[in-house]
Amino acid sequence: MKTEAVVLRAHGGPEVLVRETIDLPDPGPREVRVRVRAVALNHLDLWVRRGMRHLKLAYPHRLGADVVGEVDAVGPGARGATVGQRVVLGPGVSCGVCEKCLSGQDNLCRRYGIRGEHVSGGYARHVVVADDDLFPYPEGIPFAEVAAVPLVFLTAWQMLVDKAKVRPEETVLVHAAGSGVSTAAIQIAKLHGAHVIATAGGTAKAERALALGADHVIDAKTQDFVAEVKRITGKRGADVVIEHVGGDVMSRSVLAVTAGGRIVTCGATAGHEPAIDLRHVFARQIAILGSTMGPKASLFGILNHVRAGRLKPVVDRVLPLWEAREAHRVLEAREAFGKVVLEVD
């Protein structure tokens, strides 16, 4: 069949995103076609659009990891899907048969990839996916809000729960509160009984971080976050740091964490080669943990929390899919607090 999509055929600025009619194959064995209703942006969309050295894209390529919609057609032998059923798509894809996949660590699969980066994503009216990419839709919540859940909540959940093993009464420092991962991390930390200190750029974002549950907010534009964390914690420092900025923020996070604390990093938007004084790391026994995405099975629990209202997706604005260029501009300019979502008419 043919469907409309926003695609790229070359790397560059937002202008490389173009609306086209594309050919979409019918769903094959154990595949499902989904009528996309909403797709959320991530910074990954910007990086793929600009181009990264390891990327080998099949053009026309579609961005978009976070996809929600309705089952439109079911291929032979597809399981757990009926036409008309609302679904959430998992953002990660893997082989499904290796030791890591079968042990529930699919994000460590050697063939692991992310929708919109390694395979085409959801910037389209329809997509065809494997039946094991489908997750139950939290009924009663609008498509645009549910689309804001998968990648960032899965990432933040692994960082806090699986990697940092956050405990009640611990202090968690969450950097860049306006980002999707950080809006999720603030809520997950509070869900587990932690105290949250967030950094944010400016008064408006600071106020929204407080409304989201942060106990203290540091204005990254005017305050030294290391000094402020030490002041708030009585010179002790944070037990856990959630970090995805990189650069000097990562370097100084080593100074903001307590002895025996944990720094978990999942990105490096401001620089991937931070200068770290290793004497602080070994003398104060600091753990620095890398994290990418999370096991797909964690989405079941996350979506249950969303359904129950214990975790709430944060949407800054909703635009039509056909205004993807403007959505990229907003995200690139760091104008958003939370997620920018594209609706598909």
- The residue extents of the domains of the chain are 2-149+313-343, 153-290
pLDDT means per 10 residues, the chain with 345 residues, are 97 98 96 98 96 90 98 96 97 96 96 96 98 96 98 98 98 96 98 98 93 96 96 98 95 97 93 91 97 97 98 97 98 95 97
- Predicted confidence at residue 258, as pLDDT, reads 98
- pTM comes to 0.96
Arch. (CATH architecture) of 2-149+313-343: Alpha-Beta Complex (3.90)
- Predicted confidence at residue 310, as pLDDT, reads 97
Is it true that 2-149+313-343 and 153-290 share their CATH fold? Answer: yes
Residue range 153-290 forms a domain whose CATH class is alpha beta
Show the 3-state SS of the chain: CEEEEEEECCCCCHHHCEEEEEECCCCCCCEEEEEEEEEECCHHHHHHHHCCCCCCCCCCECCCCEEEEEEEEECCCCCCCCCCCEEEECCEECCCCCHHHHCCCHHHCCCCEEECCCECCCCECEEEEEHHHEEECCCCCCHHHHCCCHHHHHHHHHHHHHHCCCCCCCEEEECCCCCHHHHHHHHHHHHCCCEEEEEECCHHHHHHHHHHCCCEEEECCCCCHHHHHHHHCCCCCEEEEEECCCHHHHHHHHHHEEEEEEEEECCCCCCCCCCCCHHHHHHCCCEEEECCCCCCCHHHHHHHHHHHCCCCCCEEEEEEHHHHHHHHHHHHCCCCCCEEEEECC
